[in-house]
Amino acid sequence: MATQEKIDAGEAFHLWDHLTFRYDNIQATQIWYEHAHDTDFKFLLKNGLQNVLRKQAEMLEKELIKFGIPLPKQPSDVVKSAGDTTLLDDDYMFRTLNIGIMGALWLHTLALKQCTTNDRIRDIFRNLLIDEVNVLDKLLLLGKLKGWINAVPLYSPLQ
């Protein structure tokens, strides 16, 4: 599909890089969903997979196709369960997901900062950043509720 819309090399890279990141996130979330025990955590993972990650991946795929950028290799839709769901603890998966979201926030921010040619593409990265902040907020609320956030020592000035 040919388009008259212009993007620069950095914007093309960020679109491609975000899609590869989303593919990795989809695969990791599928694995975690298969190993999660807590029903609230499973719900959050399933919701994130269906309503955030896959929708964002589809949107990014359409953008790459529009600009004639080759799509990266897609992850398999089938996740082979190891059978032993005790390999991963919910709180560990939660903290790993939290770190991953921090990485996504950085990735979206970097793209937002560097995309200066095409305002519409920059808006995509702004929206991804806002969506990620909202996901992080829900994740932190769940983590506090479940006691999965490592307690930070309280600060009190020396007297």
In this predicted model, what pLDDT tens digit does every residue of 63-112 receive, in sequence order? 999 999 999 998 777 666 666 667 789 999 999 999 999 999 999 999 99
Specify whether the CB–CB gap between 117 and 7 falls below 8 A.
yes
Residue 104 is predicted with a pLDDT of 96
Alpha carbon distances (Å) from 145 to 8, 79, 88:
44, 29, 20
Q: What is the per-residue DSSP string for 97-119?
A: HHHHHHHHHHHHHHHHHH--S-H
In this predicted model, what pLDDT tens digit does every residue of 8-32 receive, in sequence order? 999 999 999 999 999 999 999 999 9
Q: Is 83 left (phi over 0), alpha (psi -120 to 50) or beta?
A: left
Q: How far is CA 81 from the centre of its chain?
A: 22
In this predicted model, what pLDDT tens digit does every residue of 44-59 receive, in sequence order? 999 999 999 999 999 9
DSSP state of 84: -
In this predicted model, what pLDDT tens digit does every residue of 109-157 receive, in sequence order? 999 999 999 999 999 999 999 999 999 999 999 999 999 998 888 888 8
For residue 2, name the pLDDT band (cuts at 50, 70, 90). low
Q: What is the per-residue DSSP string for the chain?
A: --------HHHHHHHHHHHHHHHHHHHHHHHHHHH---HHHHHHHHHHIIIIIHHHHHHHHHHHHHTTPPPPPPPPS-----S-TTSS-HHHHHHHHHHHHHHHHHHHHHHHHH--S-HHHHHHHHHHHHHHHHHHHHHHHHHHHHT-SPPPPPP----
Residue 150 is predicted with a pLDDT of 86
